[in-house]
Structure 1
C-alpha cells in the first residue's frame, strides 16, 4: 500500500483543519455576541469576581458602593460577587424605569441561599416569593384582610394601650426625677413588637413572653447575615457548623411559635376567647388560606414563617425610624419646638392624648415623618429584585440570574432632585416647596418602602405607627442629648435595618401637662 505524499497529507490536513478553525471562530464570535451588555463595573478575578476586592477594602458594603464604586462607574454598575451578579442602581430615574415603567418584569426575586430557604420555607413568604400565583395569594391575603385601612383601624385601642405602656416604661426608666436618660430604640422597638404580636396572634402577651419572642426572632435575623459561602457555594462543605446553627435556630423558632398558633386555633374552635384576646388576627386569615390550588391551609412550619415575617417586617423598620427621628429632634430643637406647638394646638388645653385621628390635621408632623424617611430610609438597599425574563435597563442588559439592588441614600440625598439634601428640614414639605410620592408611582425621589409591585405591603400600618409614636413622644416629653450638650453622632450601621452606630440615649423631661 502506497504511503501518501507529504503534499497530499498537508492538503488533507488543511482540508480538515480549516472547517474546524472556522467553526471555533464562528462559535467564539457567536458566544461573544450573545454575551449580555452588562453595566460597567470593576474588573474582577477568576471565580471570585469582585468579592475579595469588596471584603478587603475595610469598608462596609454600603460605604464601598457610595465612596468607591459610584464615583467611578456612575448611576448603574455591575459587581461580580462570586457566583452572584449584582446590578446596582443609584439613580432615581433608573429606579423608576425598573419598578414603575417595567414593574412586572422587575417584580420577582433572585434565588435564595440555602439558609434563607430554611426560614422562608422555600420562598413561602410575601417578601421572598417569586412573582407568580403564590406571591399574589399571600400578598392579597395580607393586604386585604389585615393591612387595609378599615382593618388597621380595628386595632386602634391596642395601639393606644401600647403607647400608654411605652410612656410608662420611659417614665420608669427616667427615674424618680423624670429627666432621663433613656434608651430610645429599645423602648420604641418593644412597643411596636408588642402591637404586632397581638395583631398577629390575636391576644396580648405579658412582658416576659414578649421578651422571649423578641429574643427568638432576633436570633433568626442574626443567623441570616450573609456568609462567604452564599457567594461561593463551593465553600459550603466548610460551613457545616454555621448550617447546623441555622437549623437549631429554626427549630427554636418553630418550637416557640407553634404553641401560640395552637392556642389561637383552640380559641377559634372552642369559640372561647381569653380576656386579653381580640376578635380577629393575622393568623385567622392564614388558617383557611388556600394557596396555588392546595386542598388545605399552610402547614405549621409555613405558618411560623408567615407570622415571623409579619412581626419582624414591621418592628425594626419603624423602631429605627423613631430612633433617627428623636435624634434629629434633639439636634434640631427648632423642629422639636415646631412639632410640639402643632401638637399643643391640636389638643388645646384639654389634656387629652394625641390620637391617630389627629394625624391628618397635622401637616408639620407629616412633614417631619417624611423628612425622617428621606434622610434615614430603613435600609441602605431595597430588597433584591430580579427579572422574570431578560430585560434592559438604562440601555444595558439585565439577565435573569442577576440581582438588582437600589442604593437608597444616593436617591434621598441627590442634589439634582433635592435642595440642600444633607440638611434635616421638614419645612421643605410643610411649605409645599418640595414634595415626594413615597410610593414612587408619580416619580421617584425617595423609596423608603421600596416601589412598584413589590412595595412593602405594610406601608400604611408603618405610617400610622410612626406618626402616632412621634406625636406622643413629643407631647409627653422634651428630648435632649445625653450627656447634656453632647453632639449627636449620625453615623449608621447595618443591623437588619440601618440603626445608629452608637445607640441613642436621651434625656427626657416630662411636659407640664403630662406630669
Structure 2
C-alpha cells in the first residue's frame, strides 16, 4: 500500500534533502541519480514540476515494467508507486487523494498530529540530561503518524519498531538483490540464498502488517454492526476495503 512505501523514506529524508540541495546548486534544477537499478529524476523547479505533472501529466503518469525483485515486493505492481497507468492505479490514486490526503481530510488529522507532537516532546524531555540527535526523534514521530494514517490505531512502541525494522531491512536489501534482476531464472539457482532472504523478508513483512490490516477490518465490521466504537482517525486501510 502506498503509505507504507513512505516508511523507509522518512528515516533518510533529511540526508537525501541535503544531498539534492547541493546537487541542484551545482548542476541545476533537474538532477538524475542512479539509485538502485533505475535512474531517479529529481525536479527542484516549480515551473518544471508544473510542466511535467500538470501540462504533460499523461506523458509521465505511467510506470515502467518493474524488475523481477521489485515485482515480487509490489505484488506484481499492485501499489500506487509501481502500478501501470490504468484502472488499478486510478482507483488507488483516488482513494489516496480524495479520502486520505484531501485538504478536508488532512484537517481531521489535527488531533493525530497533537498526539504525535506529545510523543516527540515526551521523548525529548526524557533525554534532557544527555546529548541527542533531534532529527532521529522527529523522524520517529513522523513514522508514528504514518503508521496511524495507515492502520487508524495508536500502536505501541514494540509494534512500531517491528514495522520500522522490516521496512528498513527491505530497503537495505534492494541493492543487495539487484544482481538477481539480470538473470532471474538462473539467478534463483546460482543465488538461491539471496532469493531465500527475499522470501523470508516478504514473509516477515506479511507477518507484521497483515494482522494489523485484519484487525482494522474486524474493527470496522463491528462498527457497522452497531458496536460502540470511536474512530481516532480515518485509515488508508479503510479506503482499500470499503
Counterpart of 2:187 in structure 1 is 236
Stretch moving more, 139-148 or 229-238: 229-238
Written as runs of structure 1 = structure 2, the 5 A alignment for 1:288-367 is 288=242
Structure 1 position 223, deviation (Å): 2.0
| Structure-1 separation of matches of 2:148 and 2:180 | 35
Structure 1 position 90, deviation (Å): 8.2
Is 1:205 aligned to residue 155 of structure 2? yes
Is 1:183 aligned to residue 183 of structure 2? no
The 1:183–1:149 alpha-carbon spacing in structure 2 relative to 1, beyond 3 Å, is same
Calculate the TM-score normalised by the size of structure 2: 0.73
The 1:202–1:91 alpha-carbon spacing in structure 2 relative to 1, beyond 3 Å, is closer
Aligned partner of 2:84 among 111, 130, 133 = 130
The 1:242–1:273 alpha-carbon spacing in structure 2 relative to 1, beyond 3 Å, is farther
Deviations 1:307-365 (A, max 9, x none): xxxxxxxxxxxxxxxxxxxxxxxxxxxxxxxxxxxxxxxxxxxxxxxxxxxxxxxxxxx
**Structure number with higher relative contact order (C-alpha < 8 Å, ≥ 6 residues apart):** 2
Is 1:224 aligned to residue 178 of structure 2? no
Aligned pairs, how many?
Answer: 210
The 1:274–1:85 alpha-carbon spacing in structure 2 relative to 1, beyond 3 Å, is closer
| Structure-2 separation of matches of 1:128 and 1:258 | 20
Is 1:153 aligned to residue 107 of structure 2? yes
Written as runs of structure 1 = structure 2, the 5 A alignment for 1:78-157 is 98-157=52-111
| Structure-1 separation of matches of 2:108 and 2:90 | 24
Structure 1 position 102, deviation (Å): 3.0
Deviations 1:123-143 (A, max 9, x none): 111111111221111001111
| Structure-2 separation of matches of 1:111 and 1:190 | 33
Written as runs of structure 1 = structure 2, the 5 A alignment for 1:253-268 is 253-268=205-220
| Structure-2 separation of matches of 1:89 and 1:211 | 30
Structure 1 position 91, deviation (Å): 9.2
Say which one has the larger Rg: 1
| Structure-2 separation of matches of 1:133 and 1:90 | 27
Calculate the TM-score normalised by the size of structure 1: 0.36
- Kept in 2, the 8 Å contact 1:203–1:274? The answer is no
| Structure-1 separation of matches of 2:199 and 2:211 | 19
Counterpart of 1:252 in structure 2 is 204
| Structure-2 separation of matches of 1:95 and 1:203 | 35
The 1:88–1:282 alpha-carbon spacing in structure 2 relative to 1, beyond 3 Å, is closer
- Over the residues paired in the alignment, what is the CA RMSD in angstroms? 3.4
Q: Secondary structure at the match of 1:127?
A: coil
